């Protein structure tokens, strides 16, 4: 049995297989997931697991070069946006409109669906390198 880090087999497998430039999405329970993209569904009940705790766990294991969120997030969910900025401190964060964000999910290696019920609680993480 794995002792540390992410215990979820699918997330661990996806992160280990990512290369430079690949993208991984962490989304709220309402984010539409394109049929051709791998779905890792963690949603248990509304709010469980949350977006921020899932993001924090992934950031501990994934080398992230940059991140992308919806431009609506700072306006509609400012508290969550600020907490997300704190977690991604030092990672360049760009904003695009939500429709463009959803379009970009089609190129992701996988989408991790959380139980989060806060509007626009979604992020695309672009894999970096460790050297």
Q: Which residues line the annotated binding site for substrate?
A: 28, 98, 120-122
Of 20, 60, 106, 107, which one is the catalytic site residue? 20
Six-digit token pair at 131?
Answer: 């050297």
State the residue for tokens 């900025």.
85
**Residues placed in the known binding site:** 28, 98, 120-122
Residue 40 C-alpha from the chain's centroid: 11
Q: Is 27 a catalytic residue?
A: no
How many CB atoms are closer than 10 A to CB 121? Answer: 27
Asked whether the beta carbons of 77 and 119 are under 8 A apart, the reply is: yes
Catalytic center residues: 20
């Amino acid at each position: 049995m794995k002792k540390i880090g992410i215990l979820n087999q699918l997330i661990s497998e996806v992160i280990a297989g990512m290369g430079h430039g690949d993208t991984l999405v962490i989304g709220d329970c309402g984010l539409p997931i394109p049929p051709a993209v791998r779905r890792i569904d963690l949603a248990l009940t509304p709010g469980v697991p949350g977006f921020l705790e899932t993001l924090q766990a992934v950031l501990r294991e994934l080398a992230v070069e940059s991140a992308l969120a919806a431009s609506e997030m700072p306006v509609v969910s400012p508290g969550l946006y600020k907490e997300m900025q704190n977690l991604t401190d030092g990672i360049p964060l760009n904003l695009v409109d939500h429709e463009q964000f959803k379009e970009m999910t089609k190129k992701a290696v996988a989408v991790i669906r959380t139980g989060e019920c806060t509007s626009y609680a979604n992020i695309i993480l672009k894999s970096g390198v460790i050297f």
